[in-house]
Structure 1
Amino acid sequence: MSKQKIATSWQPWVLPVLVLAAWQAFGAAGLLSGRILPTPIEVVQALVEVVKDGTLLEYVGASTQRAFLGFLIGGSIAFFIGLLNGIFPVAERYIDTSVQMLRTIPHLALIPLVILWFGIGETSKLFLVALGVAFPIYLNTFHGIRSVDPGLIEMGRVYGLKGISLFTQVILPGALSNILLGVRFSLGIMWITLIVAETIAADSGIGYMASHAREYMRMDVVVLCVILYALLGKLSDLAAKFLEQRWLQWHHNYIQKA
């Protein structure tokens, strides 16, 4: 890491620290009721409680497993359909219109139907997460394939590339930046969907912990759950950015400055 990056690495944390300080000050002064918004210190105390009784690790593990399993299912299907429609125009004519019609339906509006179809078990939550993450990945995969420079494809053919080799060495790398952008969008939607699904119907996970705490007016635990979702979302986004920097080092938009 360069000296310039080290010198500026603290800057993104200035605003969060100021917000936390103001939040604590207003709460300590009685300007914020603890029944509405507990102070950061009270939230930390709630964190210590759930760590000691072992529920934190259990519920975070359950939510993370649901989120990424649903992401894997929906993302894989969407990636395959995006590739299919991007490479073969005849497939686009048969499939794309149906996909676009489904995309316009708010997937969270399907919760009553999904509960009737699958109950309140794991299947319903996985279905909602998979449906939510699918469309950004599909659109960006399809757009990425169609945006590959035809000149590069023709050059690859001149050098003897065809079929799988042409796809893996020219088409897929050319579409990768768009695909990873779709992944980042989908990771955000993944956590939003899971929050709603777990709050409405779950017997484990962070959303269940928040619902249970709300019934007993434990606002410190509710706020803790919101923060946990935010942290998990941020970690997921950092992982996606890491993959961008790792896999797109050759791309002019991702060249790392010394």
Structure 2
Amino acid sequence: MTLVAVPAEVTSAAPPPTVRRRRWRRLVSPVVILALWEAAAQAGLISAEKLPAPSVVLRTGWRLAADGTLGHHLFDSLTRAALGLLIGGSLALVLGSLAGLLRVGDDAIDPPVQIARMLPHLALVPLLIIWVGIGESMKITLVALGAFFPLYFNVYAGIRDIDERLVELARTYGLGTWARLRHVVLPGAMPSLFLGLRLAIGAAWLSLVVGEQTNTQNGIGFLMMEAREFSQTDVVLLGLFIYGALGLLSDVLLRVAERRVLSWRRGLQAT
């Protein structure tokens, strides 16, 4: 038995044409910024040594991609980000669920997490080097820490914000514990879960940028640090563009998944 019936036409309806056009309009401002940047660089208003034109950065990326350098470093960065996000995200889901669902879990788990969140995880790099060394473990741990806290707090808040009357109603209708979790708790916490995932992915990329600039021999961060030594500003900008593109792509994919999973939700639309 389900508590809320969702009409089939709501879940299967495609976005109207106006919504699709609005999505394309979101690309206008970035394109305009790049065009102005290119024009200023070509006119000599911007120093080519300090801020190369986007076309120069694009040619550098094409050259590094053609000789395999970019693909090698990109694969290493993606591997670190995926492992760190998997470890930190899994811990956040488990601990956030236990703290949100069980009183003993709340008493035992939430206070230490609240204390730890006051410590900026990027400032723990010297301590992590002492604990786990300067190899891959430190970088993956840093990404896991960055992903853990946003997801944990959103899972915890999502569960605690569920209306208790819905749980009581499900219990009145005879739903067992697992059925209540499936039909009431999980759908109710899902919006906060997706918000936590978006924040966690952003924090993971930020942590990866810092981690890859600490005694690394591969990855996009290493490519940027090596380019800094030789004053190759175009390569440094290329690395920043790649980090930004990866973050944007992951956010877009998560938005698509969110719209599909939460197709029953209708929130306020911007006008």
Determine if the TM-score, normalized by the shorter chain, exceeds 0.5. yes
**1:79-98 mapped onto 2 (5 Å cutoff):** 79-98=93-112
Once the 2 structures are TM-superposed, how far is the Cα of residue 68 of structure 1 from its aligned partner?
Answer: 1.5
**1:1-258 mapped onto 2 (5 Å cutoff):** 1-253=15-267
Counterpart residue type for residue 142 of structure 2: L
Provide structure 2 residue ranges, at least 5 long, that are not aligned to the other structure. Answer: 1-14
* Alpha-carbon distance in structure 2 between the residues aligned to 1:15 and 1:236: 20
- Deviation by residue 1:220-252 (Cα, 9 ceiling, x = unmatched): 111010000000000111121112111111223
Q: Which moved more, 1:174-183 or 1:112-121?
A: 112-121
Q: TM-score, normalised by structure 2?
A: 0.90
* Alpha-carbon distance in structure 2 between the residues aligned to 1:236 and 1:110: 26
Once the 2 structures are TM-superposed, how far is the Cα of residue 119 of structure 1 from its aligned partner?
Answer: 1.8
Once the 2 structures are TM-superposed, how far is the Cα of residue 201 of structure 1 from its aligned partner?
Answer: 2.7
Once the 2 structures are TM-superposed, how far is the Cα of residue 94 of structure 1 from its aligned partner?
Answer: 2.0
Alignment RMSD (CA, Å):
1.5
Say which SS state the counterpart of residue 211 (structure 2) adopts.
Answer: helix
* Alpha-carbon distance in structure 2 between the residues aligned to 1:246 and 1:254: 17
* Alpha-carbon distance in structure 2 between the residues aligned to 1:49 and 1:192: 26
Instruction: Return closer, same or farther for 1:161/1:254 CA change in 2, 3 Å cut-off.
Output: farther
* Alpha-carbon distance in structure 2 between the residues aligned to 1:7 and 1:137: 32
Instruction: Return closer, same or farther for 1:139/1:9 CA change in 2, 3 Å cut-off.
Output: closer
* Alpha-carbon distance in structure 2 between the residues aligned to 1:8 and 1:189: 27
Q: Is the contact made by 1:210 and 1:221 (CA closer than 8 Å) also made in structure 2?
A: yes
Instruction: Return closer, same or farther for 1:46/1:250 CA change in 2, 3 Å cut-off.
Output: same
Counterpart residue type for residue 222 of structure 2: Y
Counterpart residue type for residue 208 of structure 1: F
Say which SS state the counterpart of residue 91 (structure 2) adopts.
Answer: helix
Once the 2 structures are TM-superposed, how far is the Cα of residue 200 of structure 1 from its aligned partner?
Answer: 2.1
Once the 2 structures are TM-superposed, how far is the Cα of residue 62 of structure 1 from its aligned partner?
Answer: 1.0
Structure 1 segments of 4+ aligned residues over 6 angstroms from their partners: none
* Alpha-carbon distance in structure 2 between the residues aligned to 1:116 and 1:65: 23
- Deviation by residue 1:33-74 (Cα, 9 ceiling, x = unmatched): 111100111101101111111011111111111112101101
Q: Is the contact made by 1:70 and 1:126 (CA closer than 8 Å) also made in structure 2?
A: yes
Say which SS state the counterpart of residue 267 (structure 2) adopts.
Answer: helix
* Alpha-carbon distance in structure 2 between the residues aligned to 1:246 and 1:6: 15
* Alpha-carbon distance in structure 2 between the residues aligned to 1:10 and 1:137: 29
Once the 2 structures are TM-superposed, how far is the Cα of residue 254 of structure 1 from its aligned partner?
Answer: 8.7
Once the 2 structures are TM-superposed, how far is the Cα of residue 253 of structure 1 from its aligned partner?
Answer: 2.5
Q: Is the contact made by 1:245 and 1:254 (CA closer than 8 Å) also made in structure 2?
A: no
Instruction: Return closer, same or farther for 1:254/1:69 CA change in 2, 3 Å cut-off.
Output: farther
Counterpart residue type for residue 184 of structure 1: R
* Alpha-carbon distance in structure 2 between the residues aligned to 1:143 and 1:41: 45
Indicate the residue corresponding to 2:7 in structure 1: none
Q: Which moved more, 1:223-232 or 1:240-249?
A: 240-249
